[in-house]
Amino acid sequence: DAVIACVGGGSNAIGSFYHYIDDFAVRLIGCEAAGRGIDTLETAATVNTGRPGIFHGMKSYFCQDDQGQIAPVYSISAGLDYPGVGPEHAWLHDIGRAEYVPVTDEEAVEAFEYLSRTEGIIPAIESAHAIAYGIKLAKEMRPDQSILITVSGRGDKDVAAIARYRGEDLHD
C-alpha cells in the first residue's frame, strides 16, 4: 500500500520506488531530512524548501540562496545533507506520483532508538527518517494494509552521533 524510503540525492529511494511507479494503488513516499525544521535554515528538505535550478549538470530542485547559488544544508545524517534531489524525484513530484515529506532530526533519532530497542535492528540515521514516517503512517492505516520501508546501511556507525545529539558522552 505504501513504499517509504529516505531521500537525499535520491538513489536509494528511486531503487525502491522503481517497480511501483506504474502501480497507482501504491503510495510512494520519500522522506527528506528536515534537520531542525523546514522553517529554519538548518534543513536539507530539498523538495519541500528548494526550487528548480541546475547543479552538477542536472536540472532539478535545489536549496538555493536569493541569488540562485547552492545554499548550505544541514541534517544529523551525513548521507542526506545534499542540497538537491535527483531529477527522477523532481519528475515524480511534479507529476504528483510521489509524495515528499520532511522528517526532523528529532523524529529520526526517536525512530532510530525505537527500532534499536524494540527489534534489535540498528538502522542508519538516513533510514531512520523513513522509519519515523512509517511509524506515523502506520497509525492511519488499516490492519490489512502494508508498508514497505527501505532500511539501508548500518546504524552502528551512527551510535556516537546519536549519543552526541542526546548530549551524552560515550567515554564516561
Average pLDDT across each block of 10 residues of the chain; the chain has 172 residues. List them in order. 96 96 98 96 95 92 94 93 94 98 98 96 96 98 97 90 87 64
Residue 49 is inside which H or E element, if any? Answer: helix 46-49
* Neighbouring C-alpha atoms within 13 Å toward the C-beta of 82: 18
DSSP, collapsed to helix, strand or coil, labels residue 53 as strand
How far apart are the C-alpha atoms of 53 and 142, rounded to whole Å?
40
Those residues with Cβ within 8 angstroms of residue 115's Cβ, 6 or more apart along the chain or in another chain:
121, 122, 123, 128, 131
Query: Is the separation of the CB atoms in 151 and 129 below 8 Å?
Result: no
Strands 27-35 and 98-104: parallel
pLDDT, position 93: 98
Query: What global pTM score does this model have?
Result: 0.94
pLDDT, position 169: 75
pLDDT, position 172: 59
N residues, the chain: 172
How far apart are the C-alpha atoms of 55 and 70, rounded to whole Å?
8
How far apart are the C-alpha atoms of 25 and 105, rounded to whole Å?
30
